[in-house]
Structure 1
């Protein structure tokens, strides 16, 4: 703070109607707090213990204040201390002020913990069903004042140009100049599945090559190629390109399961999406011993100087990252 603090202190003596107390600001608040502690604690030694200051510091502060005011504030003897009329008036006036300052500091400290604003995320459809919802549930519980906007896009996006704070993608499409952290499962398995009726009609594949003869439900990136099917054979990853019977844009990634349940063909998708269908018998695993693992999704953002809502979301992601 800069400037001068002015306090008009009414006194009850007939000699003075008002005393103008003026001191430079950095010292005035400390001095007033020391004086008030002396009055409140009933003595110099008690005030010094309360404040953690040397008794000589407390005594010299009161002496300096009295010199600046030109009026005694305390009556001191070797055995006792009492306030003068001017001292009592000053103590009564500054008590609420100091209490208000303490309350303001406490309120400011509490406000500093409150995160407000907007968080805009650019995410692929693959994280919408089960990765993102639990993270956002925890985030909203911790920071209810933050508004979250989610833009669902599956292609490669410049999140800065798109006006997003952060994005979620998988390793193969992460920009190299971005900071990134893992979220959700560290690894995900890509699984093949089909309905029992489809396999009864067309047979169950026993090798990756058998898939070429089957009807496939496949996904295509926006303006890009069909997503290949990856399988494990003899410890290495191989690529299978079955002829699609149905091609879906990855923006419709959730709907692929409905078509698989309708006996249209074999689908390749994340295993965690298939668990309920496997448990219910609506879909069954195809070549489960060949399913590959892949790294899980990552949250990425332009720099380490992230805005506060994003920093708060990063903390949630780190706290809830699965092994």
Structure 2
């Protein structure tokens, strides 16, 4: 049975990673070992689970159905084995977090180093992406998202700053050439650096002052993928390409050096900070419990 479980875990690792090499990198094994385990599983079940090409690996229909059922089941096995952690002096194991790029940049740097120093036997894996995912199906223990994107059946714990703002900025040189907007609607006549989600939807900009909310869809010469190409957008704004809206904390170093100038600051919209979220269940894996307790102490 132990060998069978190991083969099932190998299949899940490869299917989630989209390849044997990436699956081995994520799990710390070898690509050849995973390939052998998956082939053994397929022979035992008498059905192909993965379609393999020279460029990609993807589940067959049978593999997709198996993966859908296996994720939660193997999670329960891990949770059962994790009970042993309660008898250790210090928790150990792997904690996997799925977070937006903004949290990886603005929230976790102040938390991760002291957490790992406090729990040296915990191994932390962080996946940074801005699409909303099912954390269990993605093989993660918990995620970080903002409250408007949290599922109702999740437990949410505040993490990081409790209030944040979106800041609108541009280089002084750009504003000297094109003028300084006095109202959000003025942005429609400016070159704006936009953002696009992985879903293909463009990022709207919202402004608020004295109860008035203005929502615009900016246009301009540059649009970047939200999260992954944000640093490019910032550098383009500094170079004078156009006006940018982004997390104030992300832009603060450039505001302090005056490489970027605030635009429409009285209209900057505030919002509540992010949350660590995870499935509600009686027994939390020891690494996740340690992390939840740790951020509770940091608040």
TM-score by length of 1: 0.64
Q: 1:318 to 1:109 in 2, by over 3 A?
A: closer
Superposition deviation, residue 308 in structure 1: 0.5
**2: CA distance, partners of 1:312 / 1:172:** 26
Does residue 1:147 correspond to 2:118, yes or no? no
Q: Tell me, which stretches of 5 or more residues in structure 1 are unaligned? A: 1-107
**1: CA distance, partners of 2:141 / 2:129:** 14
**2: CA distance, partners of 1:142 / 1:114:** 10
Does residue 1:211 correspond to 2:187, yes or no? yes
**2: CA distance, partners of 1:306 / 1:111:** 15
Q: How does 1:192-203 map to 2 (within 5 A)?
A: 192-203=168-179
**2: CA distance, partners of 1:232 / 1:278:** 21
**Which residue number in structure 1 is paired with residue 254 of structure 2?**
277
**Which residue number in structure 1 is paired with residue 106 of structure 2?**
130
Superposition deviation, residue 113 in structure 1: 3.1
Secondary structure in structure 1 of the residue aligned to 2:262: strand
**1: CA distance, partners of 2:219 / 2:86:** 60
Superposition deviation, residue 244 in structure 1: 3.0
**2: CA distance, partners of 1:118 / 1:110:** 15
Does structure 1 conserve the Cα–Cα contact (< 8 Å) formed by 2:192 and 2:220?
Answer: yes
Superposition deviation, residue 224 in structure 1: 3.0
**2: CA distance, partners of 1:288 / 1:267:** 13
Q: 1:239 to 1:115 in 2, by over 3 A?
A: same
Q: How does 1:133-282 map to 2 (within 5 A)?
A: 133-250=109-226, 251-282=228-259
**2: CA distance, partners of 1:117 / 1:174:** 26
> Which consecutive aligned stretches of 4+ in structure 1 deviate over 6 angstroms post-superposition?
108-111
- Deviation sequence 1:276-314 (CA, Å, 0-9, x none): 111111001000000010111110001243211001111
- Deviation sequence 1:22-45 (CA, Å, 0-9, x none): xxxxxxxxxxxxxxxxxxxxxxxx
Structure (1 or 2) with the larger CA radius of gyration: 1
- Deviation sequence 1:146-187 (CA, Å, 0-9, x none): 111111110110111001000001112111111111100001
Q: Tell me, which stretches of 5 or more residues in structure 2 are unaligned? A: 1-83
Q: CA RMSD in A?
A: 1.8
> Aligned residue pairs: how many?
214
TM-score by length of 2: 0.69
